[in-house]
Amino acid sequence: MSAAAEEVVTEAPAVEAVPKRAMTLGYGTSLVVLAALVIIPLLVKNFIIFQMTMLLIYGLAVLALNILTGGSGQFSLGQSAFYAVGAYTSAILMEHVGMNYALTLPIAGVICFGFGFLFGQPALRLSGVYLALATFALATAMPQLLKLGYFEHWTGGVQGLVVTKPDAPFGLPMSQDMWLYYFTLAITIAIYVASVNLLRSRSGRAFMAIRDNEIAASAMGVDVALYKTLAFGVSAGITGVAGGLGAIAVQFVAPDGYTIQLAISLFLGMVVGGVGWLPGSIVGSAFIIFVPNIAEGISKGLSGAVFGVLLFLVIFLVPHGARQVAIVAQQLAAKLKKN
């Protein structure tokens, strides 16, 4: 009986209320995934390694949105703006200041954290569609701001900036792509672990309390304003690091790389991965990187329609995203164990 009751808890339909235990993977599964991520690059070509790097980078950006939406219940269509700020911070520091690429990332993170925290202030008064519109405004404004003449000396205007790809340090016998992959992997793991711990901490509980019932949360003494803006800050900060990594990996930043389309992609990634389920971020990231290519491969003229149909198929089959697949798999495994 108690087992049945537990299953119901994990199956609860409201994605807005993922229990924190259900936000992560078990140790065994985590190790398998980690091993795969470490070993695969040794066996494949450079181009695929590059794609895997992008997979991790977008995975981080989706994770960041997941903390904001799945964690604190706020919705954002403005993630592309934070991503852009991170990317430009890294690019400008590397190319104009000559800073080491690795050092630019924490700076990008901190700047974006501040930016997100500030943006969270007016966003406090808004929720739902209103917040969506406000963040949407941010996302549409960003590419235009980057194109402005005032900043052209730094940003390179419409042309953007070319970024030098770093070599592997200490004379390690690795290609640039492979080094960058492992570098990104290390950062991704660090951020993932930190995020899991954040959501399990006092602050994480505060986020979730706000997500589930704002009025009740404030009645329990949660500083709603502080934690909501904090969630925006953390999310923006992680997105900024992802943006910085993205700039280094792609070796290029330009305003039109960070349009609303990117924000929408990240949103789709979150839904496909499962809102509030952090490991799903990587699945969502895979969806937004590979499915458009697959669609293009199936039909060039109708690639948009094919993409739309594939997306519909996914959400029909698993309305709760990859999280649902994981839960079903878990239940199957439990049943097999019993028999």
Partner 1 sequence: MTAMLNVKDLRAYYGQVQALHGLNFSLNEGSLTTLLGANGAGKTTTLRAICNMVRSTGAIEFEGKPIGTRSTENVVRLGIAHVPQGRGTFTTMTVEENLQLGAISRSDKKAIVDDIERMYTHFPVLKQRYTQQAGTLSGGEQQMLAVARALMLRPRLMLLDEPSFGLAPLIVRDLFGILGKINREEKVTILVVEQNAQLALELADQAYVIETGRIVMSGNAKDIANNEDVRKSYLGY
Partner 2 sequence: MELFANQVLAGIATGAIYACMALAVVMIYQAIDHLNFAQGEMAMFSTFVSWQLMQWGVPYWGAFVLTVAFSFAAGIVIERLLFKPLAKAPILTNVAGFIALYAIINSVAGLIWDFTIKQYPTPFGSSPFLGSQLISTHQAGMIGITLLMLVLLFFFFRYTRVGLAMRAAASLPESARLVGINTSWMIALGWGMAAAIGSIAGMMIAPVVFLEPNMMLGVLIYGFAAAVLGGLSSPFGAVVGGFLVGIFENLVGTYIPGVGNELKLPIALALIVTVLVVKPAGLFGRAIVKRV
Binding footprint of partner 1 on the chain (CB under 8 A): 4-5, 7-8, 11-12
Contact (CB, 8 A) for 107 and 89: yes
Task: Name which of partner 1, partner 2, none residue 58 binds, using a CB cut-off of 5 to 8 Å depending on partner kind.
Answer: none
- Residue of 245, 236, 239, 315 lying closest to 274 (CA atoms): 315
Task: Name which of partner 2, partner 1, none residue 4 binds, using a CB cut-off of 5 to 8 Å depending on partner kind.
Answer: partner 1
Q: Is there binding between residue 232 and partner 2 (CB under 8 A)?
A: no
Separation CA 30–CA 2 (nearest Å): 26
Can you tell me which of 305, 328, 332, 333 binds partner 2, judged by CB under 8 A?
Answer: 305
Task: Name which of partner 1, partner 2, none residue 11 binds, using a CB cut-off of 5 to 8 Å depending on partner kind.
Answer: partner 1
Can you tell me which of 24, 53, 66, 69 binds partner 2, judged by CB under 8 A?
Answer: 69
Minimum CB–partner distance for residue 64 and partner 2 (Å): 16
Task: Name which of partner 1, partner 2, none residue 301 binds, using a CB cut-off of 5 to 8 Å depending on partner kind.
Answer: partner 2
Minimum CB–partner distance for residue 142 and partner 2 (Å): 8
Separation CA 100–CA 36 (nearest Å): 29
Separation CA 120–CA 133 (nearest Å): 14
Angle at 16 between CA 15 and CA 18, to 5 degrees: 65
Task: Name which of partner 2, partner 1, none residue 28 binds, using a CB cut-off of 5 to 8 Å depending on partner kind.
Answer: none
The phi, psi pair for 211, rounded to 5°, reads -60, -45
- Residue of 195, 179, 292, 174 lying closest to 241 (CA atoms): 195
Q: DSSP of 136-160, one letter per residue?
A: HHHHHHHHHHHH-GGGHHHH-GGG-
Q: Looking at 202-298, which runs of residues are DSSP E strands?
A: 252-253
Separation CA 111–CA 89 (nearest Å): 8
Minimum CB–partner distance for residue 207 and partner 2 (Å): 17
DSSP 164: P
Can you tell me which of 9, 186, 309, 329 binds partner 2, judged by CB under 8 A?
Answer: 309
- 278: tokens are 């952090």
Separation CA 161–CA 43 (nearest Å): 32
Separation CA 268–CA 263 (nearest Å): 9
Q: How far is CA 203 from the centre of its chain?
A: 19
Q: Is there binding between residue 221 and partner 2 (CB under 8 A)?
A: no
Separation CA 293–CA 278 (nearest Å): 25
Q: Is there binding between residue 264 and partner 2 (CB under 8 A)?
A: yes
Q: Is there binding between residue 296 and partner 2 (CB under 8 A)?
A: no
Minimum CB–partner distance for residue 295 and partner 1 (Å): 36
Contact (CB, 8 A) for 276 and 70: yes
Closer of 158 and 332 to partner 2 (Cβ): 158
Closer of 6 and 223 to partner 1 (Cβ): 6
Can you tell me which of 8, 36, 39, 215 binds partner 2, judged by CB under 8 A?
Answer: 215
| Residue listed under structure tokens 């209103």 | 130
Minimum CB–partner distance for residue 298 and partner 2 (Å): 12
Can you tell me which of 48, 99, 110, 126 binds partner 2, judged by CB under 8 A?
Answer: 126
Can you tell me which of 34, 40, 129, 332 binds partner 2, judged by CB under 8 A?
Answer: 129
Residue type at 32? V
Closer of 40 and 309 to partner 2 (Cβ): 309
Minimum CB–partner distance for residue 326 and partner 1 (Å): 18
Residues lying near partner 2 in the complex (CB under 8 A): 13-16, 69, 75, 122, 125-126, 129-130, 132-134, 136-137, 140-141, 144-145, 147-149, 215, 264, 267-268, 270-272, 275, 301-309, 311-312, 315-316, 319-321
